[in-house]
Amino acid sequence: MTVAVYAGTFDPITYGHIDIAVRAAKLFDRVIVAVAEETYKENYFSIAERLYLMKQCFAAYDKIEASAFPGLLVAYAREQGASVIIRGMRAVSDFEMEFQMAAMNRKLDEQIETIFLPAQNQNTFISSSIIKKTFIAGGSVQGLVPPVVEDALMKRKQGKSILP
């Protein structure tokens, strides 16, 4: 049984992330889509809100689960019995940082391999930041994020609560 961890900030999750997770689930027995709690980024949605959205996005997929982890990704992967870290690659601009992270993770634990999946063409320009900026400015993000995320963006804009 091969377990893979797909980690990120997912603030919020987009169809780009979902595509990577779903394709990873065709390659591995179990895929854990995990929110890193410490990323030095200023967050728009709390960890609990991001997890809530991710759980809804993956509810229909038996092999995919959503979770969150503190500290090091390789430590979390080890704890979960995962031997693979999944990363999506959108463009050449992603390469340098991804290569650096993969090298550091390998240095930290050489038993865990990083595997890159190329983003589909229609997702190469999407990032969580561009989704937030577009939505806040009044633009449509339909087709780029699931309806549940669109709904959460609207609620955040209106100052309404996102969690049930």
Catalytic residues: 17, 41, 90, 128
Residue 153, interface with ligand COA (CB under 6 A)? no
Interaction between residue 30 and ligand COA (CB under 6 A): no
Lookup: tokens for 139? 């633009």
* SS3 at position 7: strand
In angstroms, the CA 5 to CA 36 distance is 11
Q: Quick check: 12 binds ligand COA (CB under 6 A)? A: no
Residue 157 φ/ψ, nearest 5 degrees: -65, -35
Closest by Cα among 93, 100, 17, 5 to 54: 17
Binding map of ligand COA across residues 70-99, x = CB under 6 A, - = no contact: --xx--------------x-x---------
Question: Minimum distance from CB of 55 to ligand COA (Å)?
Answer: 18
The type of residue at 122 is Q
Q: How many residues of this chain interact with ligand COA, rule: CB under 6 A?
A: 24
> Considering only residues 27, 59, 91, 104, which one is a binding residue for ligand COA as defined by CB under 6 A?
104
Distance CA 78, CA 113 (A): 12
Task: State the helix-helix crossing angle for 147-158 and 47-57, rounded to 10 degrees.
Answer: 150
Nearest alpha carbon to residue 126 among 20, 38, 43: 20
Interface stretch with ligand COA, choices 54-62, 121-129, 134-142, 146-154 (CB under 6 A): 121-129
Site string for ligand COA, 45-74 (x = CB under 6 A): ---------------------------xx-
Binding site for ligand COA (CB under 6 A): 7-9, 11, 14, 16-17, 20, 36, 38-39, 72-73, 88, 90, 101, 104-105, 119, 123, 126-129
